[in-house]
Every structure is written in C-alpha cells, then in structure tokens.
Amino acid sequence: MDKQRLERYTKEYGCRYTRRQKNKFLEVLHKEMAECGYESTDIQGKRLFSRANNVLYGNVKQMKQVIVVPYDTLEKRFWPTVRYYPLNGSKTISKSMVPLYVPAIVLFVVLFVGVYLVQPKISDAMAGLLVSSSMFLIAILLIYNLLHGFSNRKNYNRNSAAIACAVEVAHSLSKEERAKTGFLFTDKNKQYFLGAEASANYFHEQHKQPELIVLDCIGKGSCMQIGFNPQNRKLAAELAKHDPSKTTIECVKLNETMRSQHMMAYFKKAVMVACGELEGEDLCVLGTHTGKDTELDEGLLDRVKKMLLGYLKHQS
C-alpha cells in the first residue's frame, strides 16, 4: 500500500461526517480517480431531510464489476466497547442499543435530578443560575446527540482503509481493465442505507446488473470472510480463489435476517469482503464509533488488494 495515500484517507480526510467534510474528501478522490482516466457520475438519494451523495467512477455501459466502498463515517458513541458485525445487520442493531441509549438515559437522569431535586433547594441566586445554565446545556447536548450526533474523529478501519485500498486497485489496473471495472463510493450507510438504495435504483434505471464487491472493515483482524447474497455463491468462491495467502476464506451466505438493516439488502448480485474476529458464528469488529479505531494491518490490506486485482485481471 502507498503510505501517503493511506495516511491521506485515514488521517487528513479520515472524518467524513458533515457535508463539508464529505465534499473536501470527494474533491481529493475526484483528482485521484481522474489520474486513472475515470469519469464520474453523481448518484443522489433523498428521504425527508436526509440526502445521500454517491459517486460512481467508470463507464456504466461497459463496467462488469464494481468495487463498492461506504465512504461516510460514523457518529461517536460514548461507550467503552462498541461491537459491529459487518455481515449481520440485525445483530449489529441489537448490540448497538446499549452504547446508543444508555449514555442518553444517564444524561436524562442527571437532567431530571438537577431540575427537580437540586435546583429547588438552592437559595443562592448565582448558584441557582449556574445550575440552571448547566441543566440547559445538558438538555441541548442530549437533544443534539440524539438527533444529529457528534462526529467520530478516528475511522481507520471503518472505512478509510477500504477507500485507500480501492483507489490503489484503480491505479493498478490497465486501461482495458479499467473500462470493465467501476468504483462506487456510497453515502448514508446506516439506518435506511439511502446510498445503497439510490445506487441500486440507478443500476436498475440503466438496465445494468454488474457484479458488486463491497469492502467493509478490511483493515485488521485474524479472520477474513466473504458474505454473499443468495445465488451469488459462485462469485464469492471465485473471488476467494485469488487470495494470495492461499488461506481458506469462509464464504458466508447472508440470509434475510442478516441482510435486514444492511446495505446488502439492496444489492442482488453482490458479495462483501470483511475482516475481524470470530464471535461465535459471526464476524465481529471492535472499536468503531470510538477513538480506538486507529489500528491497521497493512499486510492484510495488501492481501485484499492483491485478491481483488487477481480476480479483476482474471475477468478481463
């Protein structure tokens, strides 16, 4: 992996939470992909007050394979350990309830105690003003965190490393290979997965059904798995054959429950490459949504890159 490129997307443009941060990142990405001769297509998605801005690089009429990377970053969770299951959307949702709501409940309790128990007993005007101001600030923070959230500054594994890997793959392809390979960077990759939905609709409108290879949390972990949607086992197996380590990669069929609350629910012809640690039967990634997402295994990134290149070159 190019170290400058890796640092660019993990550090300099490693936080892509606000619209301004995303636009700055996309400016840099456009320049890098233009160096490879890629044309870009904006794919917009809208739902109520939410807007997704996806970018597809390549000629949609010619592309047969598309590398997909979720590029937006996460809100911060004020909890010591946050579990993410890249191949199991339902389990990710169930395990995120405590990190999401317990801190909010604690703040609400503090607010309640301050307003109804502490403040009435304060006779000093200055002390009362201080408590009132503190309670007002806590209320504002509570509402803001629930409605918008605070950006998580460190997002190396999810998914800055995948962006760097995808760009590296683009630069490693020949001109003929680039004509058949597209790169899709999706926005709004949580809750309604607006970016994935808009992208799926776009391909349908263009009457195209390319093979999609999604990269999610490929930066560290002792276990690599390839999740596949029903009827895509062959694609997963073919991709796994090009693993340069010659290690057996488990290909996992994503059932309806696993695809619930997951971007893979919108893609029919798709597989997802993910790394992490096994927790029972599920692949688990720790540290996302927190300041702990600062570690990468460059050897693992090179392995994923070579596997993708081997597969793409074999298809051309």
The model's pTM is: 0.94
Whose CA is closest to 159, among 293, 283, 8? 293
pLDDT beyond 90 at 287: yes
Would you call 260 exposed, middle or buried from its count of C-beta atoms within 10 A (0-12, 13-18, 19+)?
Answer: middle
For residue 188, give both structure tokens: 């709004």
70 band by pLDDT with thresholds 50, 70 and 90: very high
Residue spans of alpha helices (H) in the chain: 3-7, 19-34, 89-95, 97-113, 125-147, 161-172, 175-180, 194-205, 233-240, 256-259, 298-315
Cis link prior to 159 (omega < 30° from 0)?
yes
Q: Is the pLDDT of residue 37 over 90?
A: yes
Residue 239, C-beta contacts closer than 8 angstroms, at least 6 positions apart? 213, 226, 271, 273, 307, 308, 311
Q: What is the pLDDT of residues 193-213, one digit of tens each?
A: 999 999 999 999 999 999 999
pLDDT score of 258: 96
**Does pLDDT of 131 surpass 90?**
no
| Residue 316: pLDDT over 80 | no
At residue 136, the 3 state secondary structure works out as helix
Q: What is the pLDDT of residue 116?
A: 83
